[in-house]
Chains A and B, each alone.
Chain A
Amino acid sequence: MRRSDTASTLKTGTIQTPDGRSISIPPTVNGISTGAAHFTLAGGSTPTLVAGRTFQASDATSYVAMMSQTLAENNSLTVGSTFTLKGKTFTIIGLYTTDQEFANNSLVVPLATMQSVFSLSGVDSITVYAQSYEQVDALAARLRNTLGKAYDVVTEASTYANTINGLNTAQNSIKLALIVAIVTATLVIIFAVFITVRERTIEIGTLKAIGASHWQVIRQFWGEVLAISVVAALIAVGLLATLGPVISNAFNVSTPTNTTTTPGRFGGGPFGAGRALFASPVANLNVHLSSATLNAQALLIIVGLGMGLAVLTSAIPAWYVARIKPAEVLRRG
């Protein structure tokens, strides 16, 4: 069960909207069964206990709460402190951290206590865990069949489908842009080399006239193309080393994946400090622009691409030099 504490006496944090505005949001109150082995907070984030303890069966109707460390710090609270929620005094028994801004503005109370305080009955949702990811769809279909149309049965996959699809589209767009950029760069280089060689027709004709062999002329251009490629690769490495981490950080996205996990995956049992507080049905998807940072793979790609382009573009002077007839060039010149 999840509700916003709109009449909260707690000081709330502010979050940054995509358009740069700061807005204050009320804390989210989550009610969970004290016997639950797995639970996630808003956005599917898995909390990690950093102080105190998690719920016990005896806490089922008690006014106890676990609170995000951020929210607790904003209100100068710690384990053992008390606060008021809907006129009731709650004692903090544990503090947790999450990797989501929304989830960092939350607290967790026993389900029965929440139902009582918020005058609610029943639950908002029930989370069902499949033994493996492959079984998720079959299990969902079976539940739909059993429960009928009165209940919405959604899988994490469909919940996050939009996000994942969006990310996939973005990723595909980046890949396409990269391919287009490489093809464009290649064409620009080929065109530039061709123009450069063409502009030096008289030079080539002169060299041939004074006895330079075909290969002696080509070697000169290959040397130049190779030197340009090495300089370009060095610039690329330099840019990647300096700007890569900045760009990478700017574009990093963290969001839950649609990966359903088995309960045993996170160890289960009692949760100690520093361990996952609640085993999550989803693992975090971290979309990082890891390729925008300098590593052996990136270095190999840059050097490989540079050398590949050098080989490709060096064919132009070879072809052009072979075609040049010095007598014709000198007659024109």
Chain B
Amino acid sequence: MPKYVGSTDSPTRAPVAAKSWAEQPVTIVAQGLSKYFKHTGRLIKAVDEANFTFTEGQFITITGPSGSGKSTLLYILSGLDKATKGELQVDGVDVRRLSGRKENRLRRQRMGFVFQSFHLLPTLTALENVMLPVQLLGGKSPEEMRERARVLLFQFGINEDRHSHRPGKLSGGQQQRVAIARALANDPRVILADEPTGNLDTFNGKRIVELLKKLSEQGKTVIVVTHDRSIARVADVRLEMEDGRIRGMGNYVAPTRPPTLARKKKGKKK
């Protein structure tokens, strides 16, 4: 499979980051990746002919309007959704040819998930939530699992007095930090985040973005689906989707809109 580092199916934007990332080990390669389904007799192209290559340490954002196919693409990358056609390799593994059991194993070992609504298990404490992926993977003693979870929670600013709290007793920001700690519990190579700041205030959202960015700097491939421009601004690679197709791919470019128009629009929104 050819490498499409920084490439795009839309030539309107110049491929970027190819130079800086070309030497990095490749973690995700997609070629002609598509997801089609029929709805009331009409063929819907949720993802259409997506081609890209992501490398270790990249912070990637997938943006686009609602229904553009960005979440579907994320779920295909994680193996939670099956592509209709195309090739997909994650960490050297051909995801499309994996059995359900091996797919689960791939997710357990090499992927970490962060969701908009956190999706922490309400009956478990913060510490137990972080221990969960390690338990699912197996091979570690309860004490090792506990220690790993404790270290991660500390790392993400969750003090010990909160470790025994259930998610309902934590703030949104704390819950999302616990969720990120859970995503990292098995030290995955890829972090997949679906609108991770969608339910957070600006301050906590910014904090989460900083954390995710830091993780990419530590060598993780971080893929974030978002509407939040502030996240896209710090991305190494930005995928812009529309009607299932990747319309743009490259470094973040600030909108070049006359300030007056921008102000007017802002005022309108109010």
Q: Can you name 24 A-B residue pairings with CB atoms under 8 Å? A: A203-B119, A206-B119, A207-B121, A208-B80, A209-B107, A209-B113, A209-B115, A209-B119, A210-B107, A210-B108, A210-B113, A211-B105, A211-B106, A211-B111, A213-B136, A214-B100, A325-B80, A327-B80, A327-B81, A330-B119, A330-B194, A331-B75, A333-B115, A333-B117
B101 with A209: CB separation less than 8 A = no
Known contacts A326-B80, A330-B75, A330-B115: does B104 contact A211 (CB below 8 Å)?
Answer: yes
Besides A211-B104, A216-B136, 13 new A-B residue pairs in contact (Cβ under 8 A), listed by A number: A203-B121, A205-B119, A206-B121, A207-B121, A210-B107, A210-B108, A212-B104, A212-B108, A213-B101, A327-B81, A330-B75, A331-B71, A333-B119
- Asked if B136 and A212 sit within 8 Å, CB to CB, the answer is yes
B80-120 interface with A by 8 A CB criterion: 80-81, 100-101, 104-109, 111-113, 115, 117, 119
**Does A139 sit at the interface, judged by CB under 8 A?**
no
Kindly supply a per-residue 1/0 record for chain A positions 233-246, scoring 1 wherever the CB is within 8 Å of any chain B CB and 0 otherwise. Answer: 00000000000000
Inter-chain contacts of B163 with A (CB < 8 A): none
Q: A residues bordering B, Cβ < 8 Å?
A: 202-203, 205-214, 216, 325-327, 330-331, 333
The answer to whether A211 and B80 touch (CB under 8 A), given A330-B115, A330-B119, A333-B117, is: no
- Chain B residues with CB under 8 Å of A205's CB are 119
CB under 8 Å from chain A, chain B span 180-202: 182-183, 194
B109 to chain A: which residues have CB within 8 Å?
211
Distance in angstroms between the alpha carbons of A210 and B137 in the assembled complex: 10
Q: Which 8 A-B pairs have the closest CB atoms?
A: A211-B108, A211-B107, A327-B75, A206-B119, A327-B80, A327-B81, A213-B104, A326-B80
Which A residues lie within 8 Å of B248 (CB)?
A: none
> In the assembled complex, which residues on chain B have CB atoms less than 8 Å from the CB atom of A216?
136
- Beyond A327-B80, A327-B81, is A211–B133 a contact (Cβ under 8 Å)? yes
Determine if B132 is an interface residue (Cβ-Cβ < 8 Å). yes
Q: Given the complex of chains A and B, what is the CA–CA distance between A207 and B107 in angstroms? A: 11
Check: B7 CB closer than 8 A to any chain A CB.
no
What count of chain B residues pass the 8 Å CB interface test?
A: 29
B53 interface residue (CB < 8 Å to A): no
Interface of A is mostly: helix
Q: Are B100 and A210 in contact (CB under 8 A)?
A: no
Alpha-carbon distance between A262 and B68 when the two chains are bound, in angstroms: 94
In the complex, B226 has a CB within 8 A of chain A:
no
Which residues on B sit within 8 Å (CB–CB) of A213?
Answer: 101, 104, 136
Q: For residue B63, which residues in chain A have a CB less than 8 angstroms away from its CB?
A: none
The docked-state distance in angstroms from the alpha carbon of A150 to that of B78 is 97
Chain B residues with CB under 8 A of A207: 121, 132, 136
The interface residues of chain A lying within 8 Å CB-to-CB of B137 are 211
How long is the Cα–Cα vector from A327 to B194 in the complex, in angstroms?
Answer: 11
CA gap between A209 and B121 in the complex, in Å: 13
A212–B106 alpha-carbon span in the complex (Å): 11
Cβ-neighbour of B132 out of A210, A214, A330, A331 (below 8 A): A210
**Closest residue to A202 on the B side, CB-wise?**
B119
B136 x A211 contact (CB < 8 A): yes
Question: A209 with B78: in contact, given A214-B100, A330-B115 (CB under 8 Å)?
Answer: yes
B105 and A330 contacting across the interface, CB-CB below 8 Å? no
Alpha-carbon distance A245/B75, docked complex (angstroms): 61
> How far is A219 from B17 in the complex, measured between Cα atoms in Å?
46
CB nearest to A203 among chain B residues: B121
Alpha-carbon distance A210/B122, docked complex (angstroms):
16
Nearest chain A residue, comparing its CB with the CB of B101: A213
Distance, CA A208 to CA B81, complexed state (A)? 12
Q: Is B71 a contact of A210 with CB atoms below 8 Å?
A: no
Alpha-carbon separation in the docked complex, A330 to B111 (Å): 16
Give B182's nearest chain A residue, CB to CB: A210
Compute how far the CA of A212 lies from the CA of B108 in the bound complex, rounded to whole angstroms: 7
Residues of B near A330 (CB, < 8 A) are 75, 80, 115, 119, 194
Contact bitstring B111-151, A, C-beta under 8 A = 1, else 0: 11101010101100000000011001100000000000000
Interface centre among A211, A213, A216 (most CB of B within 10 A): A211
In the bound complex, residues from chain A placing their C-beta under 8 Å from that of B133 are: 210-211
Q: How far is the CB of A331 from chain B (nearest CB, A)?
A: 6
